[in-house]
Amino acid sequence: MENHNCINCSFKSSAAKTLSKEEFKVIENNSALVFFKKGDIIFKQGALSTNVAYLRTGIVKIHKRGPSREKILRISKSPSYFGIPTTFGNKINQYSATALEDSSVCFIDSNLFQNFIFKNGEFAYKLIVELCENELNDYERYANQSQKQVPGIVAETLICMADKIFNTDRFNFPLTQSELADLVGTSRESISRVLSDFSSNKIIEFNGKEIHILKRDILEQISEKG
């Protein structure tokens, strides 16, 4: 287990900021800080879940086995909890989490975590806010994605990544094309075609993993048109 100091951690969640010195002492002794490499599995669907997972740094994908392929449910960026539903909703993990970039994760004993929720209203409230925001985001994506055509969804996803994850129009795309297909519910081939199409129309530029959004206005139009 990594030596770690929670009270001085510069990656605290907004919920954790409400904890007292004493509570940090307790959390320090009942949590583990683990570093993951890109591609490492953080926890796996089907395994027993005994901890709450907090993404301290990095980016992960949350994914679940479907009837034929893997479905990517969400991309989660630090700082965020990403194992709450699977810890409290069901003893067994209902989904997997895999690091898309080098990441660090705090695993917190779930009994202790539960205790904070009981004892500390502000902590609980902050947590609920985070869970609600995630849920609303998911609803938004589901509503859009089930009705847009492939270019529309891909455009939406690129814009979302630029705005919410990387905060720039030029970034290293964290997913393979096949994973992007699993995220938006289409085929790998369609993704390849749409990206080439965007590229030949000079809407985006990409070589390998690096994506550069050249014409954001057009991309937004495509996203809205569906």
- Rule CB under 7 A: which residues touch DNA? 149-151, 176-178, 185-190, 192-193, 195-196, 209
Minimum distance of DNA from residue 193's CB (angstroms): 6
> What is the C-alpha separation between 161 and 153, in angstroms, rounded?
12
Dihedral over Cα of 49, 52, 55, 61: its sign: positive
Minimum distance of DNA from residue 24's CB (angstroms): 40
147's tokens: 């009705």
Minimum distance of DNA from residue 185's CB (angstroms): 7
CB 70 within 8 A of CB 63: yes
The answer to whether the bond into 79 is cis (omega within 30° of 0) is yes
Taking the least distance from each CB to DNA, the nearer of 13 and 98 is: 98
Taking the least distance from each CB to DNA, the nearer of 193 and 216 is: 193
> What is the C-alpha separation between 162 and 149, in angstroms, rounded?
20
Of 90, 31, 38, give the one whose Cα is nearest residue 64.
90
Taking the least distance from each CB to DNA, the nearer of 85 and 185 is: 185
Minimum distance of DNA from residue 153's CB (angstroms): 8
Minimum distance of DNA from residue 218's CB (angstroms): 16
SS3 assignment, position 51: strand
DSSP string, 86-102: HHHS-SB-SSEEEESSS
Taking the least distance from each CB to DNA, the nearer of 149 and 168 is: 149
> What is the C-alpha separation between 37 and 52, in angstroms, rounded?
20
Taking the least distance from each CB to DNA, the nearer of 84 and 153 is: 153
CB 226 within 8 A of CB 156: no
Taking the least distance from each CB to DNA, the nearer of 50 and 149 is: 149
Q: Which residues, in sequence order, are CB contacts of 132 under 8 Å at separation 6+?
A: none
Minimum distance of DNA from residue 225's CB (angstroms): 10
